[in-house]
Structure 1
Amino acid sequence: MTSPAAQGSLALRLKTETAPLHDKLDKLVMSLKPFDTRENYGRFVVAQYLFQRDIESLYDDQAYAALIPDLATRPRLAAAHADLDDLGVAVPATDETPRGEGMELPEGLGWLYVSEGSKLGAAFLFKEAGQKLGLDENFGARNLAAPADGRGAAWKRFVQALDGSGLSTAEQDRVVAGASAAFERFAVLLSRSYDLKDEPSLAA
């Protein structure tokens, strides 16, 4: 059988090698019952806001834009901020330097992979937010809403950009490492937002 790396698809390699982290993060999210109440959902949006704050600078970086032409249409920090306002939740204050600042391109692509990929899974979350909490793309659930031309089309373009990036095997290793770090970071942000006793490690 040909390995994903040998096939030349960076996106397939990322999907394969980060699958355990992705599955654990999904289970963590649902264990926190974010759609039981608007207050509980607000905690999820706080984590989303902080994660998007981490990577906001990447969406403005010309090195990434050269690989992903529609990159400027993809950030969700403003959407998460507006959702917090809708929910009456204070925008979290933090002195932490955003993770994306000064991040080199291979690692940054891994972080963007996690953020962009989450838009696919957000289809279910968006539906839950609507059915259980009465939220939508105009109030409270902007951060979960589909891109203008649909989730599938936006994801396909992103995958094509990744697979056409021409990165070496060593650089691809760094992309995978960046994606793994991004999954772990979101888990930590969730644990803080929901006041969990311990910060989880998805790799454990």
Structure 2
Amino acid sequence: MTPHQDSSVSFDFLDTLKTQTAVAHKRLESLPVSSCILSKEMKIDDYAHYLKLMYDVHHNVEENIFPILSGSIEDLENREKKHLIEEDLAFLKYNKPVANSVFNTQNLTIPFALGILYVVEGSSLGGRFILKNIETISGLDQGKGVSYFTGYGNKTGSQWKSFLNELTAYQQENNCENEIIEGAIYAFDSIHNHFLQTQKNEN
């Protein structure tokens, strides 16, 4: 935490952010494509389809959101993940995907972009939980093809805390809570719509 941050204000902001995005978050998690990767009956095709959907998300973020936040978040290069998805799909012998658009990234402000990144970075926490299920699936039980969900590994918690520190510091300095929240809700809704509209097609 930076010296000028007020921890109580930080907690209040993060609590509000989580509360205000809860409905959109739950709506995304309730989709069949989201819940299937937590199923013991998950098929490799379902897994590959999910990876392709998340490839679109991370490609959009790394190509369009990262440049906006290059002066606000210090370690963006360590938060790149689309190459991990490419590795997993290659292991599974699926073609490298061609990225589809997920977000409208024209004229985005830094606070709004931070809200989007809040959602995408937060998915890494859930990824560690999902990994436990994925590693029980035949073909994914040897530590191969799971690079994306392995993510930051044992650094997942510290990476998340580091991001939240930078997020709250920016919010306190710029008084932009509402715009960050709007960006986060937009991200959840956009990913929800992308998941809903993108049909699974085989390799």
TM-score > 0.5, shorter chain as reference: yes
RMSD between superposed Cα atoms in Å: 2.7
SS at match of 2:36: coil
Identify which range, 143-152 or 108-117, moves more after superposition.
143-152
State the partner residue of 1:177.
182
Asked if structure 1 preserves the Cα contact closer than 8 Å seen for 2:81 and 2:151, the reply is no
In the alignment, is residue 162 of structure 1 matched against residue 171 of structure 2?
no
After superposition, the C-alpha distances for 1:147-172 in whole angstroms (9 at most, x for unaligned) are 15521111111111111113544x32
Q: Distance in 1 between matches of 2:141 and 2:79?
A: 18
**Identity level (%):** 24
97, 117, 135: which one aligns with 2:140: 135
State the partner residue of 2:72.
67
Q: What TM-score, normalized to structure 2?
A: 0.79
Q: Distance in 2 between matches of 1:112 and 1:31?
A: 19
Q: 1:143 to 1:94 in 2, by over 3 A?
A: closer
SS at match of 1:111: helix
Letter in 1 for 2:9: Q
Q: Distance in 2 between matches of 1:54 and 1:48?
A: 10
After superposition, the C-alpha distances for 1:13-59 in whole angstroms (9 at most, x for unaligned) are 22111011112212225665235100011111111000111111356
Q: Distance in 2 between matches of 1:123 and 1:58?
A: 26
After superposition, the C-alpha distances for 1:32-88 in whole angstroms (9 at most, x for unaligned) are 523510001111111100011111135642x52333222210121111122222222
49, 57, 61: which one aligns with 2:55: 49
In the alignment, is residue 24 of structure 1 matched against residue 27 of structure 2?
yes
Q: Distance in 1 between matches of 2:82 and 2:173?
A: 28
SS at match of 2:137: helix
Report deviation, 1:146. Answer: 3.4
Letter in 1 for 2:86: H
Asked if structure 1 preserves the Cα contact closer than 8 Å seen for 2:27 and 2:192, the reply is no
Asked if structure 1 preserves the Cα contact closer than 8 Å seen for 2:55 and 2:82, the reply is yes
Q: 1:124 to 1:148 in 2, by over 3 A?
A: closer
Report deviation, 1:137. Answer: 9.4
Q: Distance in 2 between matches of 1:141 and 1:75?
A: 15
Asked if structure 2 preserves the Cα contact closer than 8 Å seen for 1:55 and 1:100, the reply is no
Report deviation, 1:116. Answer: 0.5
Runs of 4+ aligned residues of structure 1 deviating over 6 Å after TM superposition are: none
Report deviation, 1:11. Answer: 2.7
State the partner residue of 2:9.
7
The alignment covers a number of residue pairs equal to: 188
Report deviation, 1:140. Answer: 1.9
